[in-house]
Structure 1
Amino acid sequence: MAAPFSLPTTHRALVLDKIGEPLRVETRPTPQVSPGTAVAKILVAGLLSYSREIYNGTRKYNLPTPCVPGNAAIGRIVAVGADATRFNPGDLVLIDIFIRGRDNPSIGALSGVHDGHTEASKRMMHSEWRDSTYAEYAKMPLENCFPLNEKRLLGDPSDGGLGYTVEDLLYMLPQIVPFGGLRAIGLDVCDRVIISPATGAFGSAAVQVALSMGSSVIAMGRNKETLEAVRGFFASQFGEDRIQAVPITNDVQQEVESLAKFGPADVFFDISPPQAAGSTHVKSAILSLRHSGRVCLMGGQREDVGIPLVNVMRNDLTIKGKWMYERGDVARVIQMVESGVLKLGKDAGSRTVGRFPLENWKEAFDLAAEHAGPGERVVFTP
């Protein structure tokens, strides 16, 4: 393979020796391609607002150790396995960390974040895929690399481009997650969807995605100031009649009465964090659905929630759980972005609040924890 796309002998990677212990940067052999894989140079990798909690053990996520942690990234292909038919060195790609079993796609895990929920997923992640994207180079399955139209996405608007930065492209991750849930529940044009909570990174992205899919939105949230900011931002783009806001008050009757002002909803989409345990909004939203309404539960609450079963039965409601998304959903979001239907950057309220080298991992995790709001991101630039 000719320069400038040749692989160096060694590279730098952020290593987690054991959950709860400090991370460290290590010089190690650069990963080599094998059939079914690609090696990419990491240009920018995202952080979750709760990355610190994952690696210090607070979140109780399982990971193989030692490992290279990671998250979704934008990279440039450097080498591909001999069986590759699509990619060439130099191609710009979105690297998806949701790895599925090739012989059983129902098995999944999150590279560098969580080794899944089954023995099969753990076997997969503790062997071939233990290392993720917080490194100068990463090896990933070919099917987890999604080609990006670099000229369209990064090009100058005067030349038909959208003028995004490489960092802007990372915002597709919080868009892809709710898109997977909304697609799974059959969100349709002109549906009215309750989204809760709509004040975090994934919830606010869900608002934008649903509006871009042609639906109207009732956004719920506990922080009234942030909730109104989300409503106002997207109302300025999609129209005041397309998005409404209802605060979460922990009073079911009050919430139901507030939701009723906008008429029965078709869909309820929940993406609650663990901290939302005990919140009333799930019950309130379900009680506000029309006959044959649909519910998608993507939240991370650890405790059981109250479901009004009589209402579910009498109104023929459908309740569906969804973890992450399907592979085709990633491609669809990329298509929506490249077509201009789904915005990134300032038009999505998305911004980078901090960028760090691998050595400054602690500062990066701390800043990410402080900026969990709509559109905010912290990145590694290996």
Structure 2
Amino acid sequence: MDGRYKTLTMSQTALILSKYPLDISLVERTPPQVGPGSAVIRVLAANVLSYAANVYSGRRPYPHPTPFVPGSTAIGRIAALGSDATLLQPGQLVFFDCFIVGRDDPTSLILHGLHSGTTPGSAKLAEGEWRDSTYAEYAMVPLENCFPLDETRLLGDLGYQVEDLMYLSAMSVPFGGLRDVGVKAGEKVIISPATGTFGGAAVITALAMGARVVAMGRNADALERVKALNPDRIRIVLNTGDVTADTNELTKDGPADVFLDISPPEAVASTHMQSCILALRREGRASLMGGQRGLVALPILEIMRYNLNVRGKWMYTKEDVRVLINLAETGYFKLGPAGGIATPTAFPLKDFVAAFEVAAENQGFGGGAVIAP
């Protein structure tokens, strides 16, 4: 038998969500056993989304079979490898990406430990091997979702903490959308809303890609904090709800090349979608990554007249993740305090309620919480 194929025999602690709403308990259980196509990672830090409590309480009704180990993207070390692994090595530091895609069907998509998708194939992924996620000492994950990290460079030369690396999770989402519409250095990019977890990450990501940023939102104080990241390359615009006035403000230094929407579900009635699209130049591009539920008004006539390219984008590709990690390792994407990103607070498994609360209270540029089993 290949020496990388290892059986884990010790016990481990894990969080189990037995049923909705928020019936979560800390239990002792046998670690997952690795097989072909998978790896078992020792979880060092697992991301806690700002809306995690809303999901696991049922207030944001994401589908997922119960019982299961909740979780998200994580930083970990390889503890065991399937016999078909060719690159990864035991003990290696890796970024585990929670966005799992069916190997034989790219329309089967799940968010590990969070959302079981919308198709029968997706549900099968969530009900089977990939049911349990990373709020545990050990997690079994697909080989292709483990991305090697240059530990010497990231934790040594650049001086990051493991928790700092978790911000790659927030950056990966807007990076996928911005790459999808081909953002180029020097272009003007509108980010709206720009003050939440993913909006803030989008601002940092667009800056790192060489763009000028117009950050739009409803909270004036939060927008000022966004501008402080880079006053020379960030301009802020308050969303007043007046489409004409907001469009004029967005375009006072010329039309934009790109608009990235990354709205929460509650923003379905917001007028920013119209004003930001109207602020685009001819042949401009819009990347729609928001979670609005329901119908959203779009300026169809202007989209047609100005040959605008409006694309929907859910999450990112594996190539996006590889490029993002490379940019972090080379120092183009700065993490932690060096990049204006607060290091998140690490909580043990038993303090998951506090972790959910801190994550909800600290949206924007880092901070928040991770679970460190």
TM class by smaller structure:
over 0.9
Distance 1:21 1:286 in 2: 39
> 3-state DSSP class of the match of 1:17?
strand
Give 1:158's aligned residue.
none
Give 1:12's aligned residue.
13
1:180-259 to 2 correspondences below 5 Å: 180-235=176-231, 240=232, 242-259=233-250
Distance 2:167 2:346 in 1: 14
Give 1:105's aligned amino acid.
Answer: P
Deviation at 1:353, TM superposition (A): 4.7
Give 1:127's aligned residue.
128
Distance 2:345 2:7 in 1: 30
> Deviation string for 1:147-175 (max 9, x for gaps)?
000000000xxxxx101000000010111
Q: Which consecutive unaligned segments of at least 5 residues does structure 1 have?
A: 156-160
Whether the 8 Å contact between 1:108 and 1:116 is mirrored in structure 2 is yes
Distance 1:73 1:285 in 2: 34
> Deviation string for 1:178-207 (max 9, x for gaps)?
000011111122221110011011111111
Distance 1:165 1:6 in 2: 30
Distance 2:214 2:314 in 1: 23
1:1-382 to 2 correspondences below 5 Å: 7-155=8-156, 161-235=157-231, 240=232, 242-382=233-373
Whether the 8 Å contact between 2:361 and 2:368 is mirrored in structure 1 is no
| Seq. identity, % | 51
Give 2:312's aligned amino acid.
Answer: G
Count of residue pairs brought into register by the alignment: 370
Distance 1:294 1:200 in 2: 22
> 3-state DSSP class of the match of 1:175?
helix
Give 1:218's aligned amino acid.
Answer: V
Distance 1:370 1:163 in 2: 27
Deviation at 1:229, TM superposition (A): 1.0
Distance 1:180 1:124 in 2: 23
Using structure 1 for the length normalisation, give the TM-score.
0.94
> 3-state DSSP class of the match of 1:293?
strand
Deviation at 1:372, TM superposition (A): 1.9
Whether the 8 Å contact between 1:353 and 1:376 is mirrored in structure 2 is yes
Distance 1:164 1:353 in 2: 12
Deviation at 1:8, TM superposition (A): 4.1
> Deviation string for 1:242-286 (max 9, x for gaps)?
221111111111101111212010111000011222111110001
Give 2:322's aligned amino acid.
Answer: A
Whether the 8 Å contact between 2:17 and 2:68 is mirrored in structure 1 is yes
Give 1:198's aligned amino acid.
Answer: A
Deviation at 1:356, TM superposition (A): 1.3
> 3-state DSSP class of the match of 1:60?
coil
Give 2:332's aligned amino acid.
Answer: V
Q: Which consecutive unaligned segments of at least 5 residues does structure 2 have?
A: none
Distance 2:251 2:258 in 1: 14
Whether the 8 Å contact between 1:42 and 1:137 is mirrored in structure 2 is yes
Deviation >3 Å, runs of 4+: 5-8
> Deviation string for 1:290-323 (max 9, x for gaps)?
1011111000111211101110010001110011
Give 1:296's aligned amino acid.
Answer: S
Give 1:59's aligned amino acid.
Answer: R
> 3-state DSSP class of the match of 1:351?
coil
Whether the 8 Å contact between 2:345 and 2:367 is mirrored in structure 1 is no
Output the aligned Cα RMSD: 1.4
Deviation at 1:349, TM superposition (A): 2.1
Distance 1:216 1:351 in 2: 23
Distance 1:362 1:43 in 2: 18
Deviation at 1:376, TM superposition (A): 2.2
> 3-state DSSP class of the match of 1:296?
strand
Distance 2:271 2:338 in 1: 32
Whether the 8 Å contact between 1:20 and 1:55 is mirrored in structure 2 is yes
Give 2:26's aligned amino acid.
Answer: V
Deviation at 1:108, TM superposition (A): 1.1
Distance 2:252 2:297 in 1: 23
Distance 2:118 2:190 in 1: 29
Distance 2:144 2:248 in 1: 47
